[in-house]
Chain A
Amino acid sequence: MLELHSLSKHFGGVRAVDDLSLTVNQGEIFGLIGPNGSGKSTTVNLICGVFPTTSGAVVFEGQDITDAASHRVVAAGIGRTFQNIRLFGDLTVWQNLWVAQNSVEERETGWFARWLGGQRRGRDYAGELLKFAGLADRANELARNLAFGEQRRLEMARALAARPKLLLLDEPAAGMNAEEVGQLATRIRALREHGMTILLVEHVMELVMGVTDRIAVLNFGQKIAEGAPAEIQSDPAVRTAYLGTADA
C-alpha cells in the first residue's frame, strides 16, 4: 500500500534518513522503531510532505506522492498524529474534528457546499469518533483544557476524521501510563478491524511488540532490521543499536 523507495533526507551534512526502502501492506500494522535520532520522525514527515526529500520516492496505492503538499497527502488517504501533540488548542474538541473533516467532504461535495455546510453535516461521524476516543462528553471543551491522555486521543480522532486509509502514528504512547497504553493498543487493533492500515512509530515496546505485525528498525537513518516482533527482539543488530557497542 505504502512504498518507500530509497528515500533519503539530508540536513546539511547530516543524513537523517539514508536510502530507506520499505513496504507497508494493506491492512497491516507496521512498526517503525529505533533509538532517538535515528530518523523515524523524519521519515513520517517525508511521507507527509513536511520537508522536501533529498532523493527517493514515496508511493501510495500506486500513486507517486513524493514531495506532494501536505494537504494532498491527506486527500490521498494518509492521516497522521504528531510526536508532540499539535492540536488546535483554541478550538473546541468538536471543532478540531470538524476542521479535519474538511478534506473528506471536498472529495464528496465540492468546496462550495463544504465551506458553507452547516454544523450538522458530518456531526454523526464526528460523534462516532468522539465515542471511539472516549471524548463524547468533552465535545465543547477547548482542546487546550483537555488532560494529556485526552489530547492524545483527540489527536488520533482528528487524524481519523479525514477518513484516511493509512494512519501514521508518531509515538502515540509517549508519556502515557500502562493502563492508557493498554487502551491505546485496543484502539489500534480496533482500527485495523475496520480495515485501516497503520504505520506506528513508537518507543514504548510493550505497545510495538504487542500490536504490530511487522517491524522495521532504523539506526542512523538506515534500516538495520525488519521482521516480526519476536525476530526483532532477538536480533543482535537491534540490540547493538540500543546498547551501543560494548567494547569500542
Chain B
Amino acid sequence: MLEVQGLVTNYGMIEALKGVDISAAEGRITCVLGPNGAGKTTLLMTIAGLLRPRRGSVTFEGRDITAASSAAVVHQGLALVPENRLVFPDMTVRENLVAGAYTRLARNRGEAMADLDRMLERFPVLNARVNANAGTLSGGEQQMLAVARALMTKPRCLLMDEPSLGLAPLIVAEVFNIIRELNEDGVTILLVEQNAHMALTVAHHFFLLDQGLVAFDGDPGAMAEDEVIQRAYLGSAGG
C-alpha cells in the first residue's frame, strides 16, 4: 500500500535519511524501530509531505506522492500523528477534531460532524473534556486527541510517530489497544516506536532503522524480542 524507495532527506543540516526502503502492507501494522537520531521522525515527515526528500520516491496506493504537499497527502488518505502530539493548544478538543476534518468540511459538513460525534463516542476521555482547551489535557489525553484528529481526515493509512512518548505505562497500553482496534477496523498503520516491547506485540512486520539506513527488515518472529531491543537500543550484543 505504501512504498518508500531509496529515500534521502536532510533535516536541517543533517542528512537524516541515507537511502531508506520500507513498505507497509495493506491492513497490517508495520513498525519502524530504532534509536534516537536514526531518522524515524524524518522518515514519517517526508512521507507526510512536511519535508522534501532529496532523492527517492514515496508511492501510496500506486500513486506517486513524493513531492506532494501535505494537504495533498492528507487528501490521498494518509494521515500522520506527529511526535509530541502537536495538538492545537488554544483550541478546544472539539475544535481540534473539527480542524482534523478540515478538508471534508467544505464537501460534506454533515458527514464530518457525524464522524466527530462517533469519534467522541469512541474516545470517552475526549468526550469528557470536549470543551476544554487541548493545552490543558494530560499527555495521554493529548495523544488520544492527536490520534482522533488524524482519524478525522478519514485516512486509509495512519502514520504514528512515537505514540507512547512520555506516557505512563497504563496509558501506553491503552494507546496500543486503540492502535490494535483501528487496525482491526481496516486502517493500515505505520508505527514508529521506541517502546519496542509494546510495538512488537502489535506489529505484523518490523523494520530496524539505524543511522539513516534500514538495518533489519522482517517479521517479529525473525528475531528474538530481546535481540531486537538489544540491537535497537543497547547496542549490538557485546558492543
Contacts and interface: CB of A to CB of B under 8 A. Distances in A.
A37 B234 contact: no
B237 to A, nearest CB: 10
Interface in B197-239: 197-198, 211-213, 229, 233-236, 239
Interface stretch (A1-9, A42-50, A191-199, A239-247): A239-247
A141 to B, nearest CB: 13
A224 interface: no
A148 B13 contact: yes
Contacts of B236: 206
A210 B239 contact: yes
Contacts of A206: 235-236, 239
A171 B36 contact: yes
A176 to B, nearest CB: 6
Nearest to A246: B197
B229 A242 contact: yes
Counting chain A residues whose Cβ lies within 8 A of the other chain, the interface size class is: 35 or more
Given A242-B229, A243-B197, A248-B173, A85 B13 contact: yes
B13 to A, nearest CB: 6
Contacts, number: 93
Contacts of A77: none
B16 interface: yes
B195 A244 contact: yes
B124 interface: no
B130 interface: no
Contact of B37 (A89, A146, A203): A203
Contact of A173 (B14, B37, B213): B37
A36 interface: yes
Interface string A11-48: 00010000000000000000000011100000000000
B99 interface: no
